[in-house]
């Protein structure tokens, strides 16, 4: 990985970018300083050269000026000296009038030419004519010039022949003066005759004072032309006037362009240097900052380089430590890398699979993996579940996540989720199925039902719901134990499942309650046929530990869309129909009908009415006398409750007792019955007992003992005169509890009779083990009496009762024949419409008083 870094970052140097940048910058500044120095030197050099050139120029022009001055003076003096008139009036005879007054050689020479001195020296070197500063004067020339001019005069006379004037620079009182002298000759004037005397000499003196020198300099472009003074210092350059410079030296202050250049250029260079310095400073700061940033990023890069190595090691550790395997694949969907874990997890060889097509190993639910990976805009954080076959040939499930690589292809991880998926599937199954039977449970039913109802069943293709409840299942559980009960439920479940078609649903929704959903049944006949089949199969004996068990079923039917189109409604209607089926005698089926619902509503109303009735004394007690069959004597009476409804009249107990039992009103109802029955019977003759019916639910709930005790106490009746009738259902619900309760009741002194004997399950064992005093043969035995078989059954029951020392009572004696039969089999006691209908209190009291015990004697 470090090889991926740019080489500069891998260089071993420890110098920071800041140091590097500073060093480079200092070098650059040094270079710049050199350049500036060079520029300065060049400037000075150029300036010097310039100045020197100017100096040379100035010297040249000064010379030219002096020469020009000399030349001009020479020519002027020549004009005046080599002139016949001058010869006549200044040599031959000095005529001041001609010379001065007539302005021939007078004031004008001063005013026009600036000659401060004009002299004429005669042949004996005497000054004969003087004009000083334009004024006639009488001064000797040598006196005025403060020096001898013999040399000049001689030279002037020498030039007479050739008419050549002479000029000389002299110093007059520290001021240079140019003296021009020329011998006065007749010139070209033929009228003037030369004498033989030595020539007179005309002398012009031009005093070069500073003003005049400045003017000359200006005319010749030489600045500050002046006489050298000690202030000028040692003269480097100058122009000596006269031979060996006796007249002094001319000096000038030339305009110094080099100096100017320096004056202008050096500050500029300095300024530029300053500017560059400032800029350098700024650049230094900026580059230092940038370099610092670079250093920071460099050091962070170095540290990230280290981090990279750490993270690579970490990645390797994680890859090998994790249960996932890591894969990479090229653009041709072939594995290019598989981590070591691949072999551990799949058992397959890495070598064999690297280079192999990915699709050959893994497939998704929806297609090949390459198809999935090719989905455009596939979200990279979404994983896909794949299946593959491991080295043992088992199918395994793996969750694959993939990320596209920049170089093409993909890489990612694969997590084995076989167990997880299995567990989830199991949980899902368990959450939707009943653990005991494996049938779908209520949750699954709801789901299935919702799905089917969404598909909109039609009248032609209805959705049929059967609500099925096992009859006589409870006793199996109680008598044979829960394990047997479970076996029965399993048996029933598989029988039910066998009856329906594929696509239908059988669900267990309660202890012995099932719901079947059928989708392929179209006619009512078909449904009825199915119900018949269901009941028949369920009624087949179930073998449990060498014992045959019989159960049956009631079925309620509701259909969509006819009855309802909503799952909860449909379930409710099927339950109502089931209720009706059970009420209709069990072992049968009922289709839901609109009025069933009305009946349910009716029941609700009855229930609330009953609550009111119990409180407000609408209950009545009727008594049905019970006779001893042998002598026809009344031995007691059974108390039978009625409800005197203000609108409906007298309602029989069959209508409201079930409602009272279901709603829990039975306790207060029964309280009233026991209490009233005991009070009434307490007023009867002592030999008459009263028999009171108890509901099985009273055994389960409520403090029966206390209630009975209280009734006995309140009425003051002898407990032996009270009989309690219970059905065998009491024992079926909770046999040990019932036994305990019955023993306690017996200790109170009351008698206990088994009611409705022969209708229930297995009365015999109960009779033996429970403390009964009597049994009442159900009226169905007498009512359905057809042949001698039934007679013998009654006879057997009577015999059984006798064997167990129980008083046997026959119910439902409706005819004389019934009575004859019972007498023939020596049944102990009997009651029935033939003997007496249930009577209200008044009628019963009348009967007791009037007829005494003679009633049935005639009939027996």
Candidates 12-20, 585-593, 646-654, 744-752: pick the segment binding ligand C2E (CB under 6 A). 646-654
- Distance in angstroms (rounded) separating the CA atoms of residues 828 and 805: 11
Closest separation in Å from C-beta 660 to ligand C2E = 8
CB 632 within 8 A of CB 856: yes
469 binds Ca ion (CB under 5 A): no
Helix residue ranges per DSSP H, 163-256: 210-220
Residue 859 has which token pair?
């009939």
Beta strand residue intervals within 86-196, DSSP E: 117-121, 127-132, 135-137, 166-172, 175-183
Q: How is residue 89 annotated by DSSP?
A: I
Candidates 288-296, 550-558, 796-804, 826-834: pick the segment binding ligand C2E (CB under 6 A). 826-834
In the set 365, 525, 647, 654, which binds ligand C2E (CB under 6 A)?
654
CB 434 within 8 A of CB 508: yes
- Given Ca ion, ligand C2E, none, residue 832, with its beta carbon under 5 to 8 Å by kind, binds ligand C2E
In terms of CB distance, is 73 or 813 closer to ligand C2E? 813
- Cα→Cα distances 94→100, 792, 812, Å: 11, 220, 214
Beta strand residue intervals within 783-849, DSSP E: 807-810, 829-830, 839-840
Going across the sheet that includes 335-338, the strands are 335-338, 325-329, 410-416, 395-404, 384-389, 363-364
In terms of CB distance, is 155 or 622 closer to ligand C2E? 622
In the set 221, 653, 658, 702, which binds ligand C2E (CB under 6 A)?
653
Residue 1 has which token pair?
């990985």
760 binds ligand C2E (CB under 6 A): no
Q: How many CB atoms lie within 10 A of CB 649?
A: 9
In terms of CB distance, is 206 or 756 closer to Ca ion? 756
Q: How is residue 822 annotated by DSSP?
A: H
Closest separation in Å from C-beta 752 to Ca ion = 12
- Given ligand C2E, Ca ion, none, residue 833, with its beta carbon under 5 to 8 Å by kind, binds ligand C2E
- Cα→Cα distances 545→335, 442, 485, 548, Å: 62, 31, 12, 8
In terms of CB distance, is 152 or 754 closer to ligand C2E? 754
Helix residue ranges per DSSP H, 221-365: 257-321, 341-346, 350-353, 358-361
Closest separation in Å from C-beta 822 to ligand C2E = 12
Q: Which residue, among 625, 593, 595, 648, has the nearest Cα to 838 in the 3D structure?
A: 625
Closest separation in Å from C-beta 835 to ligand C2E = 8
Closest separation in Å from C-beta 492 to ligand C2E = 30
Residue 78 has which token pair?
């020549």
- Given Ca ion, ligand C2E, none, residue 814, with its beta carbon under 5 to 8 Å by kind, binds ligand C2E
- Distance in angstroms (rounded) separating the CA atoms of residues 375 and 364: 13
Closest separation in Å from C-beta 709 to ligand C2E = 18
Candidates 171-179, 505-513, 541-549, 827-835: pick the segment binding ligand C2E (CB under 6 A). 827-835
755 binds ligand C2E (CB under 6 A): yes
Residue with tokens 């000083």: 132
Residue 92 has which token pair?
């031959």
832 binds ligand C2E (CB under 6 A): yes
- How does strand 722-726 pair with strand 751-757? parallel
- Distance in angstroms (rounded) separating the CA atoms of residues 37 and 391: 87
- Given ligand C2E, Ca ion, none, residue 653, with its beta carbon under 5 to 8 Å by kind, binds ligand C2E
- Distance in angstroms (rounded) separating the CA atoms of residues 161 and 356: 135
609 binds Ca ion (CB under 5 A): no
168 binds ligand C2E (CB under 6 A): no
- Given Ca ion, ligand C2E, none, residue 70, with its beta carbon under 5 to 8 Å by kind, binds none
> Which residues neighbour 240 within 8 Å (Cβ) at sequence distance 6 or greater?
247, 248, 249, 250
Candidates 234-242, 368-376, 638-646, 842-850: pick the segment binding ligand C2E (CB under 6 A). 638-646
In terms of CB distance, is 106 or 830 closer to ligand C2E? 830
- Distance in angstroms (rounded) separating the CA atoms of residues 733 and 749: 24
- Distance in angstroms (rounded) separating the CA atoms of residues 4 and 305: 10
In terms of CB distance, is 328 or 755 closer to ligand C2E? 755
**Considering just the CA atoms, what is the radius of gyration of the chain in Å?**
78
Residue 476 has which token pair?
């199996």
Site map (CB under 6 A) of ligand C2E, residues 202-241, x = contact: ----------------------------------------
Candidates 48-56, 209-217, 678-686, 690-698: pick the segment binding ligand C2E (CB under 6 A). 690-698
Handedness of CA 258, 263, 265, 269 (dihedral sign): positive
Closest separation in Å from C-beta 761 to ligand C2E = 17
Closest separation in Å from C-beta 830 to ligand C2E = 10
Interface size with Ca ion, residues (CB under 5 A): 4
In the set 449, 468, 694, 752, which binds ligand C2E (CB under 6 A)?
694
Candidates 182-190, 272-280, 313-321, 693-701: pick the segment binding ligand C2E (CB under 6 A). 693-701
829 binds Ca ion (CB under 5 A): no
- Distance in angstroms (rounded) separating the CA atoms of residues 625 and 831: 7
In the range 689-748, which residues lie near Ca ion by CB under 5 A? Answer: 693, 725
Candidates 66-74, 249-257, 500-508, 807-815: pick the segment binding ligand C2E (CB under 6 A). 807-815
- Distance in angstroms (rounded) separating the CA atoms of residues 273 and 35: 10
- Given Ca ion, ligand C2E, none, residue 287, with its beta carbon under 5 to 8 Å by kind, binds none
> Which residues neighbour 130 within 8 Å (Cβ) at sequence distance 6 or greater?
117, 118, 119, 120, 136, 137, 138, 139, 140, 141, 144
In terms of CB distance, is 163 or 773 closer to Ca ion? 773
In terms of CB distance, is 441 or 831 closer to ligand C2E? 831
Q: Cis bond leading into 166, ω under 30°?
A: no
Is residue 396 left, alpha or beta, with left meaning phi > 0 and alpha meaning psi from -120 to 50?
Answer: beta
812 binds ligand C2E (CB under 6 A): yes
Q: Which residue, among 673, 536, 689, has the nearest Cα to 625 in the 3D structure?
A: 689
287 binds ligand C2E (CB under 6 A): no
- Given Ca ion, ligand C2E, none, residue 612, with its beta carbon under 5 to 8 Å by kind, binds none
- Distance in angstroms (rounded) separating the CA atoms of residues 345 and 398: 10
In the range 766-785, which residues lie near ligand C2E by CB under 6 A? Answer: 779
Candidates 62-70, 144-152, 647-655, 712-720: pick the segment binding ligand C2E (CB under 6 A). 647-655
758 binds ligand C2E (CB under 6 A): no
- Distance in angstroms (rounded) separating the CA atoms of residues 717 and 682: 5
In the set 127, 477, 695, 809, which binds ligand C2E (CB under 6 A)?
695
Interface size with ligand C2E, residues (CB under 6 A): 25
In the range 712-731, which residues lie near ligand C2E by CB under 6 A? Answer: 725
In the range 742-761, which residues lie near Ca ion by CB under 5 A? Answer: 755-756
Q: Which residues bind ligand C2E (CB under 6 A)?
A: 624, 639-641, 652-654, 657, 670, 673, 693-695, 725, 755-756, 779, 811-814, 831-833, 838
Q: Which residues bind Ca ion (CB under 5 A)?
A: 693, 725, 755-756
């Amino acid at each position: 990985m470090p090889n991926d870094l740019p080489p500069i970052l891998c260089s071993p140097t420890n110098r920071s970018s800041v140091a590097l940048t500073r060093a480079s910058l200092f070098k650059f500044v040094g270079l710049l300083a050199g350049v500036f120095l060079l520029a300065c030197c060049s400037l000075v050099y150029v300036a010097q050269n310039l100045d020197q050139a100017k100096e040379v120029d100035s010297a040249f022009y000064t010379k030219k000026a002096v020469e020009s001055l000399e030349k001009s003076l020479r020519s002027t003096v020549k004009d005046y000296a080599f002139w016949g008139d001058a010869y006549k009036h200044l040599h031959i005879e000095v005529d001041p009038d001609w010379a001065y007054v007539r302005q021939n050689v007078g004031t004008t020479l001063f005013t026009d030419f600036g000659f401060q001195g004009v002299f004429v020296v005669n042949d004996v070197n005497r000054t004969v004519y003087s004009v000083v500063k334009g004024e006639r004067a009488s001064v000797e020339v040598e006196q005025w010039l403060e020096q001898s001019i013999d040399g000049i005069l001689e030279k002037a006379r020498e030039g007479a022949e050739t008419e050549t004037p002479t000029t000389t620079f002299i110093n007059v009182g520290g001021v240079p003066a140019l003296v021009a002298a020329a011998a006065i000759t007749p010139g070209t004037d033929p009228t003037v005759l030369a004498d033989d005397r030595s020539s007179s000499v005309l002398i012009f003196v031009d005093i070069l004072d500073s003003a005049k020198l400045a003017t000359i300099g200006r005319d010749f472009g030489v600045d500050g032309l002046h006489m050298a003074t000690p202030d000028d210092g040692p003269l480097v350059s100058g122009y000596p006037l006269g031979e060996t410079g006796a007249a002094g030296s001319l000096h000038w202050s030339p305009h110094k362009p080099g100096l100017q250049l320096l004056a202008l250029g050096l500050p500029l260079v300095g300024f530029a240097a300053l500017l560059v310095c400032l800029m350098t400073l700024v650049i230094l700061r900026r580059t230092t900052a940038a370099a610092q940033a670079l250093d920071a990023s460099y050091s962070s890069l170095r540290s990230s380089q280290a981090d990279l190595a750490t993270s690579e090691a970490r990645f390797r550790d994680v890859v090998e430590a994790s249960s996932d395997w890591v894969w990479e694949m090229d653009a041709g969907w072939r594995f290019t890398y598989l981590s070591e874990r691949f072999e551990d997890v799949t058992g397959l060889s890495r070598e064999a699979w690297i280079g192999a097509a990915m699709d050959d190993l893994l497939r998704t639910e929806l297609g090949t993996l390459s198809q999935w990976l090719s989905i455009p805009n596939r979200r990279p954080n979404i994983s896909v579940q794949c299946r593959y076959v491991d080295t043992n040939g088992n199918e395994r499930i793996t969750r694959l996540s993939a990320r596209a690589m920049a170089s093409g292809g993909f890489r990612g991880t694969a997590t084995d989720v076989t167990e997880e998926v299995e567990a989830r599937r199991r949980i899902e199954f368990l959450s939707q199925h009943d653990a005991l039977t494996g049938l779908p449970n209520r949750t699954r039913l709801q789901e299935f039902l919702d799905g089917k109802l969404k598909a909109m069943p039609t009248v032609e293709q209805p959705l049929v719901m059967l609500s099925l409840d096992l009859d006589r299942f409870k006793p199996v559980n109680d008598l044979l134990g829960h394990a047997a009960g479970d076996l029965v439920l399993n048996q029933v479940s598989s029988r039910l499942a066998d009856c329906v078609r594929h696509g239908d649903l059988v669900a267990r929704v309660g202890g012995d309650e099932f719901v079947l959903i059928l989708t392929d049944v179209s006619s009512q006949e078909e449904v009825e046929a199915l119900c018949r089949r269901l009941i028949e199969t369920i009624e087949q004996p179930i073998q449990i530990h060498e014992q045959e068990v019989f159960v049956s079923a009631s079925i309620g039917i509701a259909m969509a869309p006819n009855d309802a189109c909503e799952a909860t409604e449909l379930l409710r209607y099927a339950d109502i129909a089931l209720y009706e089926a059970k009420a209709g005698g069990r072992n049968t089926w009922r289709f839901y009908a609109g009025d069933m619902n009305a009946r349910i509503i009716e029941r609700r109303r009855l229930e609330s009415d009953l609550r009111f009735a119990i409180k407000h004394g609408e209950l009545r007690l009727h008594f049905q006398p019970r006779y001893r069959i042998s002598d026809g004597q009344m031995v007691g009476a059974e108390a039978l409750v009625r409800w005197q409804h203000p609108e409906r009249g007298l309602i029989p107990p069959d209508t409201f007792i079930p409602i009272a039992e279901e709603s829990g009103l039975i306790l207060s109802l029964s309280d009233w019955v026991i209490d009233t029955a005991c009070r009434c019977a307490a007023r009867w003759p002592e030999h008459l007992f009263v028999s009171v019916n108890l509901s099985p639910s009273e055994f389960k709930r409520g403090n029966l003992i206390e209630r009975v005790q209280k009734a006995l106490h309140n009425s003051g009746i002898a407990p032996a005169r009270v009989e309690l009738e219970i059905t065998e259902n009491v024992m079926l619900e909770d046999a040990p509890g019932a036994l305990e309760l019955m023993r306690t009741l017996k200790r109170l002194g009351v008698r206990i009779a088994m009611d409705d004997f022969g209708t229930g399950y297995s009365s015999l064992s109960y009779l033996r083990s429970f403390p009964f005093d009597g049994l009442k043969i159900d009226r169905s035995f007498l009512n359905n009496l057809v042949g001698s078989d039934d007679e013998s059954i009654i006879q057997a029951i009577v015999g059984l009762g006798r064997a167990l020392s129980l008083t046997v009572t026959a119910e439902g004696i409706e005819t004389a024949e019934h009575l004859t039969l019972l007498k023939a089999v020596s049944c102990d006691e009997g009651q029935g419409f033939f003997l007496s209908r249930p009577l209200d209190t008044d009628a019963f009291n009348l009967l007791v008083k009037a007829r005494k015990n003679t009633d049935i004697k005639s009939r027996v």
